[in-house]
């Protein structure tokens, strides 16, 4: 058989499983940091880079967590030098997630010097009492200070994460946070409705009846978000994600409708779009998921076990799964429908091998009839009501 060249994977996620303190609502795999474990993790991560590097030419890189910014300057130097040695630099988009309490000018400059060009900062709220309520380690002042410091280090693509429907958050508090966050002038916003994850203190408080969930207020807050985002020149391109379009060089030349099926807004997160479009990616670090050539993997959610495996020269993979093609196509459909642009039919077929119109004809016409979706010759996308209920829509596409 003739040799078939394999195209290297172009997307890389790295999980950093440490935080200064665990927030009340968070179920991501992370733990309060200990110096020795972090050192061991950094060495193991370098080993994992070495194992995958021959099959990796990253166009997008995302260091998430946990709190990647908690690593110190020396640990970052070790990681970045290893990436340089393994020819993993040069991504078009390279994001590092930060907590405002652990950003420093030196780290920011070091990241820039290796080509990191995007920072995503966990803010959640700009109300001091709510930050406290959520168990955040930073004040509102630290958000402004860190933002300024990142700008001075040369970051011109900054995302802020916010949360709404937090217990105790009134509409006035949410509006004020949105106003201040947008006035800061960042390029991107990710706004998440609180999810009550099992095994978190917030979930336990809800179960104990310490507060109740107000679904109507949550819906009103989402509406407020959509209104303010568009007033401030942000374009929604996914349920929770907004990219600034009105930069100083003027408004975007194309209206959303004309562009919706072709290209996302300039500051949209390319790395996440690759997930939603069913693309391949390597996931390194404890608990990280990966998807490479149809095979889904998940690393052990245990930092010590992760280190031990890599010290023995093996990847720390807990599970490998190859989904049946139709199941995978259904998942890909559901993910892509989270985006305002929905699915261009041709692109869906290229990605999955299935014709969306044919395979899900009944679901598509039902969703259009109830005004949750629109369809035309090019593609299928959810309306703003459909997007609000995207999780329920997703269920219908799974086979």
Ligand X SMILES: C[S@@+](CC[C@H](N)C(=O)[O-])C[C@H]1O[C@@H](n2cnc3c(N)ncnc32)[C@H](O)[C@@H]1O
Residues that bind ligand SF4 (CB under 6 A): 19, 22-23, 26, 28, 30, 65-67, 99, 122
Q: Which is nearer to ligand X, 191 or 339 (CB)?
A: 191
What CA–CA distance (Å, rounded) separates 335 from 332?
5
Q: How far is the CB of 97 from ligand X (least distance, A)?
A: 4
Instruction: Specify whether the CB–CB gap between 289 and 331 falls below 8 A.
Output: no
Binding partner of residue 22 among ligand X, ligand SF4, none, CB under 5 to 8 Å per kind? ligand SF4
Q: Which is nearer to ligand X, 114 or 196 (CB)?
A: 196
With CA atoms as reference, report the closest residue to 236 among 383, 396, 391, 94.
Answer: 383
Binding partner of residue 83 among ligand SF4, ligand X, none, CB under 5 to 8 Å per kind? none
Q: How far is the CB of 22 from ligand X (least distance, A)?
A: 10
Q: How far is the CB of 22 from ligand SF4 (least distance, A)?
A: 5
What CA–CA distance (Å, rounded) separates 287 from 308?
14
Q: How far is the CB of 59 from ligand X (least distance, A)?
A: 22
Encoded one letter per residue, x for contact with ligand X by CB under 6 A and - for no contact, window 190-209 reads: --x-xx-x------------
Subset of 227-266 contacting ligand X (CB under 6 A): none
Residues 6+ apart with CB under 8 A from 351: 277, 278, 332
What CA–CA distance (Å, rounded) separates 277 from 332?
7
Phi-psi region of 168 (alpha: psi -120 to 50; beta: other; left: phi over 0): left
Residues 6+ apart with CB under 8 A from 323: 294, 296, 331
Judged by DSSP in three states, 113 sits in helix
Paired with 247 in beta bridges are 250
Q: Which is nearer to ligand SF4, 88 or 166 (CB)?
A: 166
Q: How far is the CB of 25 from ligand X (least distance, A)?
A: 4
What CA–CA distance (Å, rounded) separates 286 from 303?
6
Judged by DSSP in three states, 72 sits in coil
Task: Give just the sign of the alpha carbon dihedral 231, 236, 242, 247.
Answer: negative
Q: Which is nearer to ligand SF4, 67 or 159 (CB)?
A: 67
Subset of 8-27 contacting ligand X (CB under 6 A): 25-26
Subset of 113-142 contacting ligand X (CB under 6 A): 122, 124
28 binds ligand X (CB under 6 A): yes
Subset of 35-64 contacting ligand X (CB under 6 A): 64
Q: What is the largest CA-CA distance in the chain?
A: 67
Q: Which is nearer to ligand X, 281 or 360 (CB)?
A: 281
Q: Which is nearer to ligand X, 144 or 192 (CB)?
A: 192
What CA–CA distance (Å, rounded) separates 70 from 19?
7
Q: How far is the CB of 288 from ligand X (least distance, A)?
A: 12
Q: Which is nearer to ligand X, 272 or 274 (CB)?
A: 272
Positions touching ligand X (CB under 6 A) are: 25-26, 28, 64-65, 67, 97, 99, 122, 124, 161, 163, 192, 194-195, 197
């Amino acid at each position: 058989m003739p040799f078939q060249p394999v195209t290297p994977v172009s997307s890389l996620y790295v999980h950093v499983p440490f935080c200064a303190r665990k927030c009340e609502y968070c179920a991501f795999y992370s733990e309060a940091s200990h110096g020795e474990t972090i050192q061991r993790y950094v060495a193991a991560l370098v080993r994992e880079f070495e194992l995958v590097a021959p099959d990796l030419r990253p166009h997008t890189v995302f260091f998430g967590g946990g709190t990647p910014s908690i690593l110190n300057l020396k640990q970052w130097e070790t990681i970045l030098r290893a990436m340089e040695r393994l020819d993993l630099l040069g991504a078009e988009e390279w994001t590092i997630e930060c907590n405002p309490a652990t950003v420093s000018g030196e780290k920011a400059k070091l990241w820039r010097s290796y080509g990191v060009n995007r920072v995503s900062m966990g803010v959640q709220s700009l109300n001091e009492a709510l930050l406290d309520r959520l168990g955040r380690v930073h004040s509102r002042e630290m958000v402004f200070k860190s933002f300024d410091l990142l700008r001075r280090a040369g970051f011109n693509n900054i995302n802020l994460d916010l949360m709404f429907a937090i217990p105790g958050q009134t509409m006035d508090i949410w509006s004020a946070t949105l106003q201040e966050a947008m006035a800061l002038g960042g390029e991107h916003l990710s706004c998440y409705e609180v999810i009550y994850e099992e095994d978190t203190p917030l979930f336990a408080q809800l179960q104990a009846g310490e507060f109740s969930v107000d679904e109507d207020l949550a819906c009103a807050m989402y509406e407020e978000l959509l209104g303010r985002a568009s007033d401030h020149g942000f374009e929604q391109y996914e349920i929770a994600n907004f990219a600034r379009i009105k930069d100083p060089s003027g408004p975007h030349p194309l209206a959303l409708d004309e562009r919706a099926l072709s290209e996302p807004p300039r500051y949209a997160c390319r790395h996440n779009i690759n997930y939603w479009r069913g693309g391949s990616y390597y996931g390194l670090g404890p608990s990280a998921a990966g998807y490479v050539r149809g095979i889904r993997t998940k690393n052990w959610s245990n930092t010590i076990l992760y280190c031990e495996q890599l010290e023995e020269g093996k990847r720390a993979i807990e599970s490998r799964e190859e989904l049946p093609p139709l199941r995978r196509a259904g998942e890909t459909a559901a993910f892509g429908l989270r985006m305002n642009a929905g699915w261009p039919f041709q692109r869906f077929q290229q990605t999955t091998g299935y014709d969306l119109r044919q395979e899900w004809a009944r679901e598509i016409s039902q969703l259009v009839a109830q005004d949750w979706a629109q369809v035309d010759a090019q593609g299928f996308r959810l309306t703003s009501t459909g997007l609000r209920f995207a999780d329920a829509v997703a269920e219908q596409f799974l086979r």
